[in-house]
Amino acid sequence: MYRAPVGEIAHTLKSVAGLGKALEQDRFGDLGEDLVDAILAEAGRFASDEIAPLNEIGDTHGAVLADGAVTTPPGWKELYQSWIAGGWNGLTGPEEFGGQGLPMLLSVATLEMWNSGSLAFGIGPTLTMGAIEALDKHASDDLKAKYLEKLVTGEWMGTMNLTEPQAGSDLNALRARAEPVGDGSYRIFGQKIYITYGEHDFTDNIVHLVLARLPDAPAGTRGISLFLVPKFFVGDDGALGERNDVFCSGLEHKLGIHASPTCTMIYGDGKFGDQPGAIGWLIGEENRGLACMFTMMNNARLAVGMQGVAVAETAYQKALAYANERTQGRAPGYKGEGMSPIVQHPDVARMLMTMKALTQGARAICYSCAEALDMARVTEGDAARAWAERASLITPIAKAFSTDIGMEVASLGVQVHGGMGFIEETGAARLLRDARIAPIYEGTNGIQAIDLVMRKLPLSGGAAVINLIADFKHDAEALRASNSPALDGVADHLDQAIADLESATSYMQAAISDDRKTDALSGATPYLRLFGLTATTAMLARGALADTDAPEAAGRAALARFAAATLAPESRGLAAIATAGVASLSDAAAALA
Amino acid sequence: MYRAPVGEIAHTLKSVAGLGKALEQDRFGDLGEDLVDAILAEAGRFASDEIAPLNEIGDTHGAVLADGAVTTPPGWKELYQSWIAGGWNGLTGPEEFGGQGLPMLLSVATLEMWNSGSLAFGIGPTLTMGAIEALDKHASDDLKAKYLEKLVTGEWMGTMNLTEPQAGSDLNALRARAEPVGDGSYRIFGQKIYITYGEHDFTDNIVHLVLARLPDAPAGTRGISLFLVPKFFVGDDGALGERNDVFCSGLEHKLGIHASPTCTMIYGDGKFGDQPGAIGWLIGEENRGLACMFTMMNNARLAVGMQGVAVAETAYQKALAYANERTQGRAPGYKGEGMSPIVQHPDVARMLMTMKALTQGARAICYSCAEALDMARVTEGDAARAWAERASLITPIAKAFSTDIGMEVASLGVQVHGGMGFIEETGAARLLRDARIAPIYEGTNGIQAIDLVMRKLPLSGGAAVINLIADFKHDAEALRASNSPALDGVADHLDQAIADLESATSYMQAAISDDRKTDALSGATPYLRLFGLTATTAMLARGALADTDAPEAAGRAALARFAAATLAPESRGLAAIATAGVASLSDAAAALA
């Protein structure tokens, strides 16, 4: 059973992702280390004791649709009520509307814990938080006044409605339409698919954010607007009124996250109200909906990255517990009686160390992304822009690397369990099933890699990426300066990985500026992994160099050495593969015939 | 829907795995190319048209246990009857007992096809074939006369009973016991778990092969004997008699291969018969059961390797079909109207090429293992020993590399489908669920890697591995000699991979002979992958150099180039990781605390 690794989370926040320094500099008002620790401890307790125990029934029972209503699994509605009663939904919400306005660093740390408890639970609030942010930044004062407070408390939940059957990764192809009513509202028509928590029984109202086209809107993504469409209308007194013309027509039967209802939503079918059309209100400007949606989407991408970290952590804990308990064979050098715990076998230890190193690396990357978001908010001018660019640069790595390793770690977790891993009751397989969605939703990992290479490497003429790599070099220098025997050899491995990352980065930048776009696109995915592994090596070393008197210091150093010796060397091949270019795909059409 | 890739299978058999040369040299009696092609075509038809359509219902319905009887999914019993009616079960069975005595090369090719149709179906006959081989090699004439013919036709099926709750990878810990009755038979007592097709309705008798200990047997694996335990006794006239004291007490609820009943078998509980004890007969000598079982197990390992290839092939076909049909965005250089098929996007093409290259590489490795088994049978003296050692050397690679890439390819297949990949009805997720068992059963892939390094590298003082690597060097020389523009650059990549494999091999050999066993054990898994990727690169090139006038030649060359440019370069890191030694795991206990 999952126990939140509060100590390691706090260490990563403070010593790797810079929360410690930020607190010293009073960057976050009167937030102090005591409050941070108290929040983490209480979140850890809630995730471990309240959420995690309901994950199995969530999986086996699933969400159920009947007569247009979705029932969540037994105990889940009460769990949600208990979670919002704890004030967790409003952690980072705007203070003006009842939120606590705390840093993203705390948000990602707590998000990790909710999702370690259950991915199917954690994804719901993520969407509400996105809706809060989009409304806070782009909506009219009237809409804010009517909806924000209840979204911040969690009394209502929010959704994101982008995908249509013909429009997944390519939002150009959206067809949902919005007709002006004349009173400032619009009638929305269309079908949306894959809508997470599109319908459920957690809350008595649901606030849908829906992308649709106005009449005569330009084609493509410059003709998309964003609308707020409530499930029930809200009176000026805040009371719920009539049902709007939107309903859930189906739930997907999915590989995992069964408790999370994945809905097909029908807007404007005439099922409710006097005439067809779901009534919605414009958020932001006409035809600028995608920009508003990206406000939600970037944070949602980081949140999905946290799901990768979260499922990896749970899979690691489960596998480690099993490996300590299960005995088979006699490991070399084992001194005990009879069979050894399998953790003593080098190959099993290798799997577990790989799981822990990847988890810890992805965690550090994601938290660093949150740090950049926070610093962008509390700084100004060039500094703010540089931090914002850093967040923008790290986001696709945080999303794709973390969710890729989420699958990798969950699969290793099954393997450590041997035959038991394939049996559903053990729970290891469930984590693998749950983990599989994260590389897909909120922009597939292929899309993330393309975003990294095509849009993020060019930021500030390449300065953003150069600055980030400079931080890794600083880690290497700190390693050498420390002369720490416990981290012997790590600097050499890190140097090599950085050199490989730099050469691949130069290749990508040249390919983009020389209009050899397909060369960059062909190697984007291995390039992203190269970035993630180099960051992992650097950040594990950074964490191991901090707080060296702690009881955990020897373990952190061992993990940093392991990562340097067995993950960093992948950089050699990855740099070659990332720069193989489109030539490696020549005649692919013949090969794929 | 799966279509058996008969052309590519035949090409790999003949031009990569040496069937062409063997036929030219009349190695397999009067077997000729026409018969080979006819068998492959008919097997392909059966797998595509008869097995594959029943896979979905197999998954959704599953095998069901009630009152000790297991019912397979609707249509499955008829499928099995139709399959044995086609004579497929006896393809490689001994001619003396009605088998066709055909080469293993044909067996693995047809096994691949059955398993591409359905892993849950394909695994059953594999166990019968193992039982046939163990009986043929080790059983008394009486037992052979009574059981072999009906096992060869498939009228009865066989099982392997090794695992007990406390004894999985470590058979030393087996507790099932056998007491001599005095008439040459034994009473067997004990519980066996994870028994594939331990109970079912395909056949009216089931022949269990069971490992158990005699009274006063030595401890450990030198005290294990193998017994034949029929579900129903067989009279001297071949008629079925009373029920033996063995039954299925439970089925596992598994992640995948739902149609394959995974049984807990109870021997000697007194449920049937006058007094407790399942009656069995010794196969081979007392306390030599493990040697007999290994006869089954080595071929079962190769068969499981074929499952990896099989599921990868199906996943590839499914993803390719989807990528040709689904349109999103506009790929660079796309000339058509509107959105492009996603296969045109470089990142999607990269995924599909990776899937195909890994599948084809694993296929070639497995078929080469079958070639070695066949050649060991038809040659004599030193040649036979060298071929047998080669088979022995390749077996763990065939099992582990193929099943690892089976998961990798199935997961990429889900990714190519985007959101649809996570929806069960699409079928991509089912392949991922099914694929997950293969790296676990018949010896986990970690056990395979240890077997490769500790037992196989030392064969003939290292000559076996040196000879195999020499074949890869020969491929590199042939590439250079061909001067083929279509294979430009492949030789360089292959040379580098071979050099990395050689240096890692030397490290492993030195580690073993210097008694630095833990160094070898720590890097065994990455070493095995290094071996698999190098073999893939060499064998794809070998295939591309053959039959260059064929319409498929351009595609084969493109795939070989892709593998050389994007898979072979992993060798650089893998060699470093494989040779990082136990030092990389130092203080693992602190890190895993």
How far is B539 from chain A, CA to nearest CA, in Å? 16
Whether the Cβ atoms of residue A341 and residue A324 lie closer than 8 Å to each other: yes
Quote the pLDDT of residue A297.
84
Query: Do residue B203 and residue B250 come from a single domain?
Result: yes
Nearest residue on chain A to B490, judged by CA atoms?
A584
User: Residue B514: pLDDT band by 50, 70, 90 thresholds?
Assistant: confident
Q: Which residues of chain A does B426 touch, with a Cβ-Cβ cutoff of 8 Å?
A: none
The answer to the question of residue A382 being in a domain is no
User: Looking at the domain assignment, is residue A379 inside a domain?
Assistant: no
Distance from CA of residue A584 to its chain's centroid? 31
Q: Per-residue pLDDT for B173 more than 80?
A: yes
B117 lies in the same domain as B164 = no
B163 and B268 together in one domain: yes
Answer yes or no: is A542 within a domain.
yes
* Tokens linked to B2: 């799966």
Same domain membership, residue A218 and residue A96: no
The answer, for B219 touching chain A at a CB cutoff of 8 Å, is no
Residues of B in contact with A168 (CB under 8 A): 328, 418-419
Tell me what the mean pLDDT of segment B134-144 comes to.
96
Catalytic residue among B8, B50, B313, B442: B442
CB atoms within 10 A of CB B56: 15
Q: Which residues pair with B187 in a beta bridge?
A: B179, B279
Mean of the pLDDT values across residues A447-474?
98
Interface size A-B, in CB pairs within 8 Å, comes to 272
CA dist A484 to A488, A489, A559, B591, Å?
6, 10, 14, 17
**Does some domain include residue A497?**
yes
User: In this complex, is the C-beta atom of B423 within 8 Å of any C-beta atom belonging to chain A?
Assistant: yes
Average pLDDT over residues A241-250: 98
Q: Is A38 exposed, middle or buried (0-12, 13-18, 19+ CB in 10 A)?
A: exposed
Catalytic residues of A: 442
The torsion angles phi and psi of A432, rounded to 5 degrees, stand at -65, -45
Check CB contact under 8 Å for A585 and B346: yes
Nearest residue on chain B to A256, alpha-carbon basis: B422
Residue A235 CB neighbours (<10 A): 11
Share of chain A above pLDDT 70, in %: 100
pLDDT, tens only, A86-122:
999 999 999 999 999 999 999 999 999 999 999 999 9
What integer pLDDT is reported at residue A481 of this predicted model?
Answer: 97
The residue assigned the tokens 């778990």 is B193
Whether B565 sits inside 8 A of A554 (CB atoms) is no
pLDDT tens profile A308-345: 999 999 999 999 999 999 999 999 989 998 999 999 99
> A410, A315 in Cβ contact below 8 A?
yes
Instruction: Say yes or no: B108 and B207 in one domain.
Output: no
B45, two tokens: 């038809």
Give the closest residue to B548 by CA, choosing from B453, B456, B458, B479.
B479
Residue-wise burial string across A328-338, b where 16 or more C-beta atoms lie within 10 A, e elsewhere: bbebeeeeeee
CATH number at residue B24: 1.10.540.10
When computed from its CA atoms, the radius of gyration of chain A, rounded to whole angstroms, is: 24
Which of B268, B291, B314 is where one domain is finished? B291
Confidence of residue A443 (pLDDT cuts 50, 70, 90): very high
Q: Which residues in chain A have Cβ-Cβ distances shorter than 8 Å to B591?
A: 353, 356, 555-556, 558-559, 562
Work out the minimum CA distance from A286 to partner chain B, whole angstroms.
Answer: 23
The residue among B449, B443, B460 whose CA lies nearest residue B508 is: B449
pLDDT tens-digit map of B418-453? 999 999 999 999 999 999 999 999 999 999 999 999
Q: Which of B349, B450, B572 sits opposite A585 (nearest CB)?
A: B349
Q: Looking at this protein, which amino acid is placed at residue A403?
A: T
Domain end (from A134, A153, A172): A153
Structure tokens at B126: 């594999």
φ and ψ at B555, to 5 degrees?
-65, -40
Residue B266, judged by CB atoms within 10 A of its CB (0-12, 13-18, 19+), counts as: buried
Contacts of B62 (CB under 8 A, 6+ apart): B73, B258, B259
- CB-CB under 8 Å, A521 with B345: yes
**Is pLDDT of B18 > 80?**
yes
Decide: helix, strand or coil at residue A213.
strand
Average pLDDT over residues B558-573: 98
The closest of A538, A567, A558, A534 to A484, measured between CA atoms, is A558
| Per-residue pLDDT reduced to its tens digit, A251-265 | 999 999 999 999 999
Round to whole Å and give the CA distance between B570 and A474. Answer: 27
Banded model confidence at residue B531, pLDDT cuts 50, 70, 90: very high
Is the residue at B422 inside a domain?
A: no
Chain-chain contact of A170 with B328 (C-beta, under 8 angstroms) = yes
Interface of B with A in 448-477 (CB under 8 A): 449-450
Give B489-495 contacts, CB < 8 A, sequence gap 24+. B489/B561, B489/B564, B489/B565, B490/B537, B490/B541, B490/B544, B490/B560, B490/B561, B490/B564, B491/B541, B492/B564, B493/B537, B493/B564, B493/B565, B493/B568, B493/B569, B494/B534, B494/B537, B494/B538, B494/B541, B494/B564, B494/B568
What is the structure's pLDDT at B125?
Answer: 95
Q: What is the mean pLDDT of residues A339-368?
A: 98
Question: Quick one: pLDDT at residue A102?
Answer: 96
In a domain, B408, yes or no: no
Residue A60 sits at the chain B interface (C-beta within 8 Å): no
Does the residue B396 lie in any domain? Answer: no
For residue B360, give how far its alpha carbon lies from the nearest alpha carbon of chain A (Å).
11
Tally of domains within chain B: 3
- Report whether A257 contacts A295 (CB < 8 A): no
Quick check: B328 and A169 CB within 8 A?
Answer: yes
For residue A200, what are the domain limits? 157-288
Which percentage of chain B shows pLDDT scores above 90? 97
Average pLDDT over residues B215-228: 95
Interchain CB contact of A407 with B (< 8 Å): yes
Check CB contact under 8 Å for B440 and A415. Answer: yes
Q: What is the mean pLDDT of residues B47-55?
A: 98
Residue B557 neighbours by CB distance under 10 Å = 26
Judging contacts by C-beta atoms under 8 Å, the chain B residues touching residue A573 are 569-574
- pLDDT value, residue B298: 85
Contact B555 A418 (CB under 8 A): no
CB proximity list for B153: less than 8 A, separation 6 or greater:
B84, B89, B90, B98
H helices of A278-345, in order, are 289-325
Q: Are residues B97 and B196 in the same domain?
A: no
* H/E segment holding residue B241: strand B240-243
For residue B59, pLDDT over 80 is answered with yes
Question: Do residues B581 and B451 both lie within one domain?
Answer: yes
pLDDT of residue B474: 98
At position A309, the amino acid (one-letter code) is V
pLDDT at A593: 87
Cβ neighbours for B399, distance < 8 A, ≥ 6 positions apart: B301, B302, B304, B305, B308, B442, B443, B445, B448
Residue type for position A37: D
Token reading at A469: 């790599």
Which residues of A are less than 8 Å from B555 in CB distance?
A: 587, 590-593
Output the pLDDT for position B293. 86
Average confidence (pLDDT) over B543-567: 97
Q: Is B557 on the interface with A (CB under 8 A)?
A: yes
CA distance B270 to B90: 35
- The predicted pLDDT at position A293 comes to 86
Which residues have a Cβ under 8 Å from the Cβ of A543 and sit 6 or more positions away? A11, A12, A15, A16, A360, A364, A556, A560
State yes or no: pLDDT of A180 exceeds 80: yes
pLDDT of residue A294: 83
H or E element: which one contains A190?
strand A185-196
Check A255 against B437: CB less than 8 A apart: no
Task: Take residue A332 and report the two structure tokens written for it.
Answer: 């070399």
- With an 8 Å Cβ cutoff, is B171 touching chain A? no
Cα–Cα distance measured from residue A36 to residue A48, given in angstroms and rounded to the nearest whole number: 18
Chain A: give the shortest CA distance to residue B291, in Å. 19
Mind telling me how many Å the CA of A428 is from chain B's nearest CA?
Answer: 10
Q: How far is A515 from chain B (nearest CA, A)?
A: 11
CB-based burial of residue A551 (10 Å sphere; 0-12 exposed, 13-18 middle, 19+ buried)? Answer: exposed
Q: DSSP character for A515?
A: T
**pLDDT number for residue B413:** 98
Check CB contact under 8 Å for A585 and B570.
no
Q: Which residues pair with A130 in a beta bridge?
A: none
Answer for the pair B210, B176: CB distance below 8 angstroms, yes or no. Answer: yes
Q: Are residues B476 and B545 in the same domain?
A: yes
Instruction: Indicate the Cα dihedral angle A90, A91, A94, A97, nearest 10°.
Output: 30
Q: Which residue, B305, B286, B171, B148, is CA-closest to B226?
A: B286
Tell me: do A140 and A175 sit in the same domain. no
- Residues in Cβ contact with B287 at an 8 Å cutoff, skipping those fewer than 6 apart: B214, B217, B218, B222, B223, B224, B225
Beta bridge partners of B159: B208
Q: Which of B153, B187, B220 is the last residue of a domain?
A: B153
In this structure, the answer to whether residues A184 and A241 fall within a common structural domain is yes
Q: Which of A170, A433, A440 sits opposite B419 (nearest CB)?
A: A440
Mark whether A126 and A183 lie in a shared domain.
no
A445 in contact with chain B, both atoms CB, cutoff 8 A: yes
Residue A68 domain-assigned? yes
Do the Cβ atoms of B233 and B241 come closer than 8 Å? yes
What CATH number did the domain enclosing A268 receive? 2.40.110.20
Contact A332 B521 (CB under 8 A): yes
Whether B97 and B181 share a structural domain: no
Contacts of B345 in chain A (CB under 8 A): 446, 521
Give Cα separations from B47 to A414, B93, B411 (angstroms): 30, 20, 23
The mean predicted confidence, pLDDT, of chain A is 97
Q: What mean pLDDT comes out for the span B331-341?
A: 92
Confidence of residue B267 (pLDDT cuts 50, 70, 90): very high
CB nearest to A348's CB, from B339, B446, B569: B446
